[in-house]
Amino acid sequence: MRSENRALIASLVLCVALAGPALAQKKYDTGASDTEIKIGNIMPYSGPASAYGTIGKALGAYFNKVNAEGGINGRKVTFITYDDGYAPPKTVEQTRRLVENDDVLLILNSLGTAHNTAIQKYLNTKKVPQLFVATGATKFGDPKNFPWTMGWQPNYQSEGRIYAQYILKNHPNGKIGILFQNDDYGKDYVKGLKDGLANKVMIVAELPYEPTDPTVDSQMVSLKASGADIFYNVTTPKFAAQSIKKAAEIGWKPVHLLNSVSASVGAVIRPAGLENAQGILTALYGKDPTDPVWNDDPGRKEWLAFMDKYYPEGDKTSSFPVYGYSVARTMVQVLQQCGDDLTRANVMKQAASLKDYETGMSLPGIKINTSPTDFYPIEQMQMGRFNGESFVPFGPILDGEIGGS
């Protein structure tokens, strides 16, 4: 080979060798570095929704586990969580504190529909990811208008449609009585059911209650008197327990559809009375931790080990820690996919590229999928029936089909 050619080849090789590290260069936005990833979170640890605070604790516990096992790609997670007392102005203040004062990379699993609405514009303007919001409100999966906001759980309207499908198939001549919380969450669920029923007139009673009501006894009495034989129960845990107890007490035994938010053995069914809840239906996307059928399931075993070691004071019969665990695992998956490119843009990109991801506590067959046009990670659910001990899944995996692909 002539010397000029050798020189040319040598310089080409040198260029490629120099370019190599440049291609694998690390990229960071505020909140990420070689050693640390800062994640921010706002939860109602006090106030009317304080029962959900356990989700925040589960999230923190999971990140402790991740750090104890070496972190994500060698980086430790610093999880900063603040209380907003379930008041949107406080949510705004705490979010700004996290973004501007604590310099977090992203906001994870902030809870509450109005609360997430309050911070949505701010986070999208500042281009900070608002990931896996802890609400099923349908509006949070809108990549065209809010490219930095993504939901996680099946949205409420999808779930309502699934119940509508079930009713149309199994009780086409029934009369539906609805008890719903008079806020965004309740109304979203009702809309989903109504959309799913299309024009079929089946609803005979539609009664709201306020979270400030001491009991829902009056509504239950009216529902029974309305002659409904299907009960669509859109209540939060405390009122779900009251309604289940009251229904049994007044001798009302309708086909009982309970929304997934309150389908928790530990937090709802057990206080209400296991025998009173026989036959209650719900739509599941996660494994019921009390169901003995999962005793040998590796996903459930891993969750139990996590609870024992990192969150021993948590309730192992409640679905809330399962929820927190699953959200945290999804977050870790996204961060792992990011590799060394921990820019906010890449975090969103990876969040929108989840393919058939399973969190270990999701029901077999239910997978997390996202794409640039599909910001609803979980869209599938399966019907479950309470058999006196746990919610047992039955039937096929259903798709709620709302928006996205």
Partner 1 sequence: MELFLHQVLAGLATGGIYACMALAVVMIYQAIDHLNFAQGEMAMFSTFIAWQLIQWGFPYWLAFGATIVISFAAGVLIERVVLRPIHDAPILSHVVAFIALLSILNSAAGFLWDWTIKSFASPFGSGQFLGQNLINKHDAGMIAVTILLLLLLYLFFRHTRIGLAMRAAAANPESARLAGIRVGWMTALGWGMAAAIGSVAGMLIAPVVFLEPNMMLSILLYGFAGAVVGGLTSPGGAVIGGFMMGVIENLAGTYIPVVGREMKLSIALIIIVAILTVKPSGLFGRPVVTRV
Partner 2 sequence: MLVTPTELRSAEARQPPAPTIGGVAMPVWRLIMLAAGLVVVVAIPFALKNFFIFQITLAIIYAIAILGLNLLTGFNGQFSLGHSAFYAIGAYTAAIMMENLGIGYVWTIPVAAIVCFVFGFLFGLPALRLEGIYLALATFALAIAIPQVLKSSVLEHWTGGVQGIVIIKPDAPFGLPLSSDQWLYLFTVAVAIVMYVCATNLVKSRTGRALIAIRDHPVAASAMGINVSLYKSLTFGVSALYTGVAGALGAIAIGFVAPDSFTFVLAVALFVGLVVGGVASIPGTLVGGLFVLFVPNIAESVSKGLAGAVYGVILLLVIYLMPTGAAGLVRWMTAQFIRLGRARRS
What is the distance between the terminal CA atoms of the chain, rounded to a whole angstrom? 57
Alpha carbon distance 236, 252 (integer Å): 20
Where would I find the H helices in 291-377? 298-310, 319-338, 344-351
Minimal distance, residue 195 CB to partner 2, in Å: 18
Residue 54 in the binding site for partner 1 (CB under 8 A): yes
Closest CA to 154 of 288, 279, 249, 283: 283
Residue 241 in the binding site for partner 1 (CB under 8 A): yes
Residue 127 in the binding site for partner 2 (CB under 8 A): no
Count residues near partner 2 (CB under 8 A).
31
Alpha carbon distance 347, 340 (integer Å): 11
State which residue, 94 or 359, has the beta carbon closest to partner 2: 94
Minimal distance, residue 223 CB to partner 1, in Å: 11
Residue 101 in the binding site for partner 2 (CB under 8 A): yes
Residue 374 main-chain phi, psi, to 5 deg: -125, 100
Alpha carbon distance 382, 394 (integer Å): 7
Residue 212 in the binding site for partner 2 (CB under 8 A): yes
Name the helix (H) or strand (E) containing 80: strand 76-83
Residue 326 in the binding site for partner 1 (CB under 8 A): no
Residue 339 in the binding site for partner 1 (CB under 8 A): no
89-107 burial by CB neighbour count: b if 16+ within 10 A, else e? ebbbebbeebbeeeebbbb
Give the single-character DSSP code of 334.
H
State which residue, 100 or 401, has the beta carbon closest to partner 2: 100
Q: Which of 11, 33, 35, 46 binds partner 1 (CB under 8 A)?
A: 46
State which residue, 152 or 180, has the beta carbon closest to partner 2: 180
Show contacts of 291-299: CB within 8 Å, 24+ apart: 291/389, 291/390, 291/391, 291/392, 292/389, 292/390, 293/390, 293/392, 298/360, 299/358, 299/359, 299/360, 299/361, 299/362
Residue 170 in the binding site for partner 2 (CB under 8 A): no
Q: Which of 143, 160, 186, 237 binds partner 1 (CB under 8 A)?
A: 237
**Interaction partner, residue 371 (partner 1, partner 2, none; CB < 5-8 Å by kind):** none
Which listed range, 5-13, 80-88, 342-350, 388-396, lies at the site for partner 2 (CB under 8 A)?
80-88
Structure tokens, 244: 């289940």
List all residues 6 or more positions away from 311 whose beta carbon is below 8 Å from its beta carbon.
57, 58, 61, 321
Residue 181 in the binding site for partner 1 (CB under 8 A): no
Q: Which of 103, 297, 315, 374 binds partner 1 (CB under 8 A)?
A: 315
**Interaction partner, residue 82 (partner 2, partner 1, none; CB < 5-8 Å by kind):** partner 2
Q: Which of 52, 62, 86, 152 binds partner 2 (CB under 8 A)?
A: 86
Query: What residues from 191 to 210 belong to the interface with partner 1 (CB under 8 A)?
Result: 207-210
**Interaction partner, residue 267 (partner 1, partner 2, none; CB < 5-8 Å by kind):** partner 1
| Contact between 228 and 199 (Cβ < 8 Å) | no
Residue 227 in the binding site for partner 1 (CB under 8 A): no
Count of beta carbons in the 10 Å neighbourhood of residue 231: 25
| Contact between 175 and 168 (Cβ < 8 Å) | no
State which residue, 192 or 289, has the beta carbon closest to partner 2: 192
**Interaction partner, residue 389 (partner 1, partner 2, none; CB < 5-8 Å by kind):** none
Sites of contact with partner 1 (CB under 8 A): 46-48, 50-51, 53-54, 182, 207-210, 212-215, 217-219, 221-222, 225, 237-238, 241-242, 249-251, 266-268, 270-273, 315, 318
Sites of contact with partner 2 (CB under 8 A): 45-47, 81-83, 85-89, 92-93, 96-97, 100-101, 113-115, 117-118, 120-122, 182-184, 187, 210, 212
